[in-house]
Amino acid sequence: MSLLLANRLFASRMSVPSHFKAMTLKLSVGADPKTRFDALVSSDLPTPALKNGEVLVKIHAAALNHRDVWIRQLGSGKEGVVLGSDGAGVIVASNPDKTLIGEEVIINPGLNWDSQVSGPENPAIYESLGHPTNGTISEYLVIPRKYVYTKPKHLSFAEAAALPLAGLTAWRGLFTQGGLKKDQTLLIPGIGGGVALFALQFAVAIGAKVYVTSSDDEKIKKAIALGATGGANYKTKDWSKGLAKDLGGKGIDLIFDGAAGQENFDAYLNLMKVGATYVNYGGTASWAVNLPIATFFSKQLLLKGCVLSSSLHPSIQYSSILVFRTVMGSQREFVDLVNFVNDHKIVPIVSQVFEGLEDGSTKAFNLMLAGAQFGKIVISMDHKL
C-alpha cells in the first residue's frame, strides 16, 4: 500500500475532534514598549463547523517568520489569535468534497488576493494567516479549500511547512517585481533567513549569478556551497569596494533586501548598475532610509511600490513609497511557486525542527530571537518529521 493511500485511509477513519490545542496570543497589560514580548499560551479551542468549501487540516508542521516575532513585540496583536502563517498537514474533513480527505497539503497563508499583479484586488480585505485570522501553530486549521495545495512529493512535512510565506515573498520579489533573468546578477543582503535563502535557491535554479552579504563568514560559506558566486562580510571595512572588485565593474542588476539600514543602503546604490532594480521585503536593520534622489535619476534606478499592510510596524503606513515593497503574493503566484519547486526539486533549507506544540513553540521563538538560524525554523506537532 502506498504511503499516500495509507494516509487517506487513516484520515478517513479519524473522528473530527470537538476541541484542539493551539498557541494563542495573550497581550501584556502595561508592558514597556522597549522590552514587550506578548505571551503565547496553549489553549483549547472548539473545532468550528465547516462551511461550504472549507476543509479541516491536521497540521503536521508549522514554520516561524519574523512576522510572528513582530506581532508579539509591538503590542498591536489581537487577543487570543493563533499565530503562525506557514503550515503543512493532511485534510481530515471537507465540506462537501469528501474525496479530499487524506490529501497531504501545504497552505497558502495570503488570503483574498487572486491574481492581480500590482497587488491585492481589494487591499482592505487582504490578510494573512496568523493575524488577524487564526494561523498554523495549532493542531488543526479550518481554511477555505482554495488556499490548500497538494504538497510536493519530494518534500517532508517540515520542509513543505517552511515554504509558503518566505518562498512566496522570494518568488514575487525576484520574478514579478524584480524581473530576474538567467545570467543577471543578484545581490542578497543578510543571507541566512528563510526569504533570503529561497531567493538564493530560486536564482541559482534559473542560472543567475548570486552574491550575498552577512556579518557571519560561516553563513557566506554555506551560501556559496548552495550555489552563490561570492559574498562579503558587511562588518568588514570597505566591504562594498571588495565586492565591486569581484563584480569586475559590471554592477548588480537586482538587489533583494530585507534589512535596509542607511549605511548599507548607500553601499547598495553604489553597486547597482545603470537601470538596476531594488526590491525590499523588510527592515530588520532599520525601517527608514534617506533616499539620494540624484543617484536614482543619474543611474535610472527602479525603486517604487506600495506597502500592503500597516499592521507589522508602526512606521509603515498605506502610502506610495520609493521602493518595490513586496509582501508575499497572489494565489496565481503561489501556484507558480509550487510548480517551480516541483519542477526544479527545490528543497527548503530548514535550520532546526522543534517537537511539540507548546515546548517546540517556545524553543523555536527563542532561536528566532537569537538570530542564529540558517534557514527556516519549524515546529513539529508531536510527529517525527
Q: Are residues 72 and 98 in the same domain?
A: yes
Q: Are residues 184 and 135 in the same domain?
A: no
Q: Are residues 151 and 174 in the same domain?
A: no
What's the rounded mean pLDDT across residues 173-194?
Answer: 95
Residue 209 lies in a domain: yes
For residues 313 and 63, the model is more confident at 63
Domain endpoint, select from 325, 340, 361: 325
Amino acid sitting at position 266: D
Q: Choose from 99-108, 118-127, 249-258, 276-285 the range with maximum mean pLDDT.
A: 99-108
* Full DSSP string of 286-315: -S-----HHHHHHHT-B--EE-S-SSS-TT
Pairing outcome for strands 272-280 and 252-257? parallel
Q: Are residues 251 and 363 in the same domain?
A: no
Q: Are residues 126 and 26 in the same domain?
A: yes
The pLDDT confidence band at residue 106, using thresholds 50, 70 and 90, is: very high
Q: How many helices (H) and strands (E) does the chain have?
A: 11, 20
Q: Which residues contact 280 (CB under 8 A, 6 or more apart)?
A: 257, 258, 260, 305, 323, 324, 325, 326
Instruction: Name the pTM for this structure.
Output: 0.90
Q: Are residues 363 and 318 in the same domain?
A: no
Q: Are residues 112 and 177 in the same domain?
A: no
Expressed as residue numbers, the domain containing 267 is 167-325
Burial (CB < 10 A; 0-12, 13-18, 19+), residue 123, is middle
Q: Are residues 373 and 247 in the same domain?
A: no
Residue 340 lies in a domain: no
Q: Which residues contact 127 (CB under 8 A, 6 or more apart)?
A: 111, 112, 133
For residues 144 and 305, the model is more confident at 144
Conformation bin of residue 134: beta by default, left when phi > 0, alpha when psi is -120 to 50: beta
Residue owning grid cell 487582504: 126
The pLDDT confidence band at residue 321, using thresholds 50, 70 and 90, is: very low
CA dist., res. 255 & res. 233, Å (int): 16
pLDDT, tens digit, 9 for 90 and up, residues 199-209 = 999 999 999 99
pLDDT of residue 8: 56
The pLDDT confidence band at residue 307, using thresholds 50, 70 and 90, is: very low
Number of folded domains that form the chain: 2
Residue 297 lies in a domain: yes
And the C-alpha cell for 355? 517537537
